[in-house]
Structure 1
Amino acid sequence: MAERAGSTLRPGGGRVRGPVDVPRLAAFEVLKAVRVDDAYANLVLPAVIAHFNLEARDAAFTTELASGTLRWRGTYDAVLSACVDRPLSKVEAKVLDALRLGTHQLLAMRVPTHAAISTTVDLVRATGNQGAAGFANAVLRKVAAHDLDAWVARVAPDPTSLRYPEVALSHPAWVVDELRKAVGPDQLLALLAADNVAPEVTLVARPGRATREELPGEPTPYSPYGVTLTGGSPAAVPAVAEGRAGVQDEGSQLVALALARAEVPAEGSDGDGGRWVDLCAGPGGKAALLAALAAERGASLLAVERAPHRARLVARSLADLRGTGGFAGIVVADGRRPPLTPGTADRVLVDAPCTGLGALRRRPESRWRRRPDDLLELVLLQRALLASAVDLLRPGGVVVYATCSPVLAETSGVVTSLLENRSDVVLEDVGALLPEVPDAAGPLPGTLQLWPHRHGTDAMFVALLRRSP
């Protein structure tokens, strides 16, 4: 493992003094970015690894250390609380970050005890002070006294208690409660366990631009366009580098496929293949697949995205499709009030902003970032976006409403609210469009709910609604 003495330049400026293990410092910087800047670890990690110029072995260590620490934070905080003589809220935030990193090494990585403790103490000393280093040393020696199973048995001894999933499987109590309502008590622990397994990288071949056969990996079981990458970097795959393929979870591929497979009557269509709209297009993965599918039908996709920086990501994702006829352009606008003519769209996708509690395996920090109070604001936004999408549809047109959350308020609650308030919309069976996906009945008849523990995808919810005359 690489180590540098003297001063080391940190990504945000400034230096650390004294000996410090650079891969561990890199993981520390990722945790800081997540905590201070609300960054996503999977987006920050490549930049931090590049800043410290880590080789493959050290980069893998940093990735596991940062991601694993974020994923198991709830468990480690329960352990640390038993080893600290004060509430964790009274521990300096950067010292607590280091203690969590040290605890992950002690309880979940094959790092010798002395190395885990000494390098963490060095990290605290280099980024904090000598007193904090002594405190960290004492705490981590207490952590090292037991293995993970023994600690869980000590801090959550009753497997039938409500606290057990929170501690043993590292989810906040309110998230456990919402997921229990969505999946049921019998499958709750399996779902929480699946949230703690880092997902494999899935690629998508954009139809008409690439074929699945030219992508390295195993074909995905449900999407005809996906493969599970068996090794290496996606950026090293020529089709990905050229924009003809991309990285996309299989569940997201199925959302786009459902919209493309829905029957839409030709009468009244504007153009040969019709007008398709992605109402919340950022960062562009689903839009790129939809535009490729639209091009094959002689249709065109218009992407709508409110945030300018996310609109730029959409433009990057769809750059290869410019001039193909399948991509009509990008509009930077609020999907609740898009500057589009009502009643002119054949197909609309609403991949709504949500709590993201269905994608915790790839974004583990979301479970600690979200709060119960976020739900109401998100649900109101989701209802408004879905109503706006219906207004864009011509009679006979369809909208797919999707969330990467299984929380009932964001899924069946939003769809039910629309159906109760509009007489010109009917809910259709989206499962019939994806017959290859088993055991995926959603909370409302006709809706579909994917699960990481059943399907190996993010927990995507999908509903298909049609505007009647």
Structure 2
Amino acid sequence: MTAERRNDRGRERNRGGSGRRQFSQQAPSQRTRTADPARLVAFEVLRAVSRDDAYANLVLPARIRHHRLDRRDAGFATELAYGALRGQGTYDSVLSRCVDRPLERLDPAVLDVLRLGAHQLLSMRVPPHAALNQTVALTRAVVGAGPGSLVNAVLRRVAEQGLDAWLDELAAEAPDEIEAAAIRHAHPAWIVRALRQSLVAHGRPVSEIDDLLEADNAAPVVNLVALPGLGSLDEALDAGATRGELVEGSALSSGGDLGRWAAVRGGTLRVQDVGSQLVARAVVAAPLSAGGNGDERWLDLCAGPGGKAALLGALASQRGATLLANEPAEHRAELVRQALRPVPPEAWSVRAGDGRTLGGEERGAFTRVIADVPCSGLGALRRRPESRWRRMPQDLAELAPLQRELLDSAIEATAPGGVVGYVTCSPHPAETTAVVEDALRRRRDIEPLDAGAILDAAALEPLGAGHPLASGRGTTAQLWPHIHGTDAMFLALFRKLPPSKES
């Protein structure tokens, strides 16, 4: 070996592209080991999700405040964390081509760093050198110096081609179009099948599946609601939010630390998806029968964590009614109490108990009842980026008996002439139309109402124009993120029949 390839200590120089090695400009001891704060926040969110089974939307704001990120860095951290979580399955498929061992054998923290690096390289407008350097620096700061070389080598392989080329390569090896769509749109294959089935069950063409999956992957706009009679949109509008076009008292915001707003801190301005606002208002707008005993007591059977309860409580207060908010878990019942605190206390109360027993305990006591039952959450995947990788097909079967029992309890709790709303944030027929049809088949004390028409009446503009809401028997309604810009909320409305009219 020639002397010119060695330094004065006899060490070989680094080769460049021409075959001649070049010295690194920095000694290993001088390379940065300090994590960029925005990337550190994203890493902490991914670790909380994968290690602690936490929810990203709850962890992220706290970490942003802890690290005192400004608006720009908070936006970067949000896109990085949510994007890496949404695309986890696709990024893992790419990474598996670039790592010399099964991904499950990697340190989980290193795998989370690699996911963050892959998202920056493939789906963000981050220069490749910055994505590589900062991700390696993050690795050294939070995991250790040793794994930094591995992360650097793997991400260099990831960066050899763009996302489209990776997707083409991976999809070409998929066994069928569903598996290919799962790779291209970063959804588990079983969810792709479930959403295809859901479209058909609700009268939509299966050809909309790509649009639906893309809507799931779009960064959601923050939806706000000013509690009727209590809150104002002024602070949000002054900060750049725009008035919502679908629901009275709603606004759309690009996000940031909303906790800085006085109205948000006071609870009179709240974050709530417009679909959730609509179904709550539809239950309130549904007409009672002429023989009813007055619009006095309302029930939110599954109230936690309290978003709908706060809106319903404010509406009840305006109408001189009272709301009972029920939640089985005491810690979540406390969240409901906190959500309702801005509402005059005489308009609401909270019960911590099993909703399945409430109908028998307070039979016929309520004129309006909403049962927003626990469900798979397949309609809210865009707002809960980690949930698509947590849910399993068996969740649908396990939830079905609970959903039916809660609907039965809601019906028992409703007074003759009163209204029951059955709500899910899932479009899957096993959780929506199948539950409704089962109730109508078994019971003679309810009749279906036209949920689509009532939902339209509750909105500022017709939701069904060109996009029919009706599904199932033609009386239920289904919202869609790719059509209405909401979570995929399902609504069925029933009227409780007097005993003499049961058929």
TM score, norm. by length of structure 2: 0.85
1:437 partnered with 2:459: no
Q: CA deviation at 1:198?
A: 1.4
Q: Secondary structure at the match of 2:210?
A: helix
Indicate how the Cα distance of structure 1 residues 467 and 233 shifts in structure 2: closer, same or farther if over 3 A, else same. Answer: same
Indicate which of 413, 431, 435 corresponds to 1:392.
Answer: 413
Report what 1:156 is aligned to. 171
Distance 2:134 2:319 in 1: 58
Partners of 1:81 and 1:444 in 2: how far apart? 46
d(CA) in 2 for partners of 1:158 and 1:462? 40
Aligned equivalent of 2:446:
425
**Aligned AA (2:161):** H
Q: Would the alpha carbon gap of residues 24 and 257 (structure 1) be closer, same or farther in structure 2, given more than 3 Å must change?
A: same
Q: Does 1:337 align with 2:357?
A: yes
1:162 and 1:228 map into 2 onto residues whose CA distance is: 34
**Structure 2 counterpart SS, 1:410:** coil
Of the structure 1 ranges 108-117 and 408-417, higher mean CA displacement relative to structure 2 is found in 108-117
Matches of 1:416 and 1:331 in 2, distance apart?
Answer: 29
Tell me how far apart the structure 1 counterparts of residues 243 and 493 of structure 2 sit (CA, whole Å).
26
Query: What residue in structure 1 maps to residue 194 of structure 2?
Result: 178
Q: In structure 2, do the counterparts of structure 1 residues 186 and 437 end up closer, same or farther at CA, with 3 Å as the change threshold? A: same
Counting only pairs closer than 5 Å after superposition, residues 320-331 of structure 1 correspond to structure 2 as 320-323=342-345, 325-327=346-348, 329-331=349-351
Q: Distance in 2 between matches of 1:230 and 1:66?
A: 16
> 2: distance between equivalents of 1:215 and 1:147?
38
For residue 455 of structure 1, what is the aligned residue in structure 2? 484
Structure-2 separation of matches of 1:213 and 1:25: 34
Quick one: distance in 2 between partners of 1:60 and 1:95? 23
SS at match of 1:386: helix
3-state DSSP of counterpart to 1:265: coil
Given candidates 306, 314, 318, the residue that maps to 2:328 is 306
> Which runs of 5 or more structure 2 residues have no equivalent in the other structure?
1-28, 201-205, 457-461, 499-503
* Runs of 4+ deviating beyond 4 Å: 211-215, 230-233
Structure 1 residue 151, shift from structure 2 partner? 0.9
Size of the aligned set, in residue pairs, is 451
Contact 1:389 1:399 in 2 (8 A): yes
Distance of aligned partners of 1:132 and 1:378 in 2 relative to their CA distance in 1, 3 Å threshold: same
Give the superposition deviation at 1:42: 1.3
**Which has more radius of gyration?**
2
CA shift, 1:268, in A, is 5.0
- In 1, distance between residues paired with 2:66 and 2:475? 49
Q: Counterparts of 1:317-396 in structure 2 under 5 Å? A: 317-323=339-345, 325-327=346-348, 329-338=349-358, 340-396=361-417
Residues 215 and 135 of structure 1: CA distance in aligned 2, closer, same or farther (over 3 Å): closer
CA distance in 2, matches of 1:170, 1:361: 12
Tell me, in whole angstroms, the C-alpha distance in 2 between the residues paired with 1:231 and 1:20.
24
Work out whether residues 404 and 435 of structure 2, in 8 Å CA contact, stay in contact via their aligned partners in 1. yes
Instruction: Give the distance between the partners of 2:295 and 2:100, measured in 1 at CA.
Output: 67
Give runs of aligned pairs for residues 81-92 of structure 1, distance below 5 A.
81-92=96-107
SS in 2 for 1:406: coil
Separation in 1, partners of 2:262, 2:187: 38
* Contact 1:19–1:126 (8 Å) recurs in 2: yes
Say whether 1:167 aligns with 2:189.
no
**TM-score (norm. length: structure 1):** 0.91
Residues 446, 497 of structure 2: 8 Å contact kept = yes
Distance 1:309 1:461, change over 3 A: same
**Residues 98-247 of structure 1: matches in 2 within 5 Å?**
98-157=113-172, 161-184=177-200, 185-210=206-231, 216=237, 217-229=241-253, 233-247=257-271
Q: Which runs of 5+ in 1 are unaligned?
A: 1-5, 7-16
Render the CA deviation track for 1:203-246: whole Å, top value 9, x for unaligned: 11222223557751333222122121366643344443333231
Q: What whole-Å deviation, never above 9, does each CA across 1:316-365 have from its counterpart, x for those lacking one? A: 11101133x432x0000111112842111111100111111111111111
Contact 2:283 2:421 in 1 (8 A): yes
Say if 1:273 and 1:213 are closer, same or farther in 2 by CA, change over 3 A: farther
Per mean C-alpha deviation after superposition, the further-off stretch among 17-26 and 454-463 is: 17-26
Counterpart of 2:379 in 1: which secondary structure?
coil
Deviation of residue 398 (structure 1)? Answer: 1.4
8 Å CA contact retained: 1:273, 1:300: no
> Partners of 1:75 and 1:239 in 2: how far apart?
39
Is contact 1:396–1:468 with CA below 8 Å preserved after alignment? yes
In structure 2, the partner of 1:74 is: 89
Tell me the alpha carbon deviations over residues 93-126 of structure 1, each in whole angstroms, 9 at most, x when there is no partner. 1111111001011111222222222222233333
Q: Within 2, Cα distance between the matches of 1:355 and 1:417?
A: 19
Deviation at 1:424, TM superposition (A): 1.4
One of 41, 52, 67 as aligned partner of 1:52: 67
More helix as a share of residues = 2
Give secondary structure in 2 for the equivalent of 1:432: helix
Residue 411 of structure 1 aligns with an amino acid whose one-letter code is T
SS at match of 1:396: strand
For residue 53 of structure 1, report the CA deviation from its aligned partner: 2.6
Percent identity over the alignment is 51
Match of 2:62, as an amino acid? A
Q: Secondary structure at the match of 1:395?
A: strand
Deviation, 1:255, is: 0.8
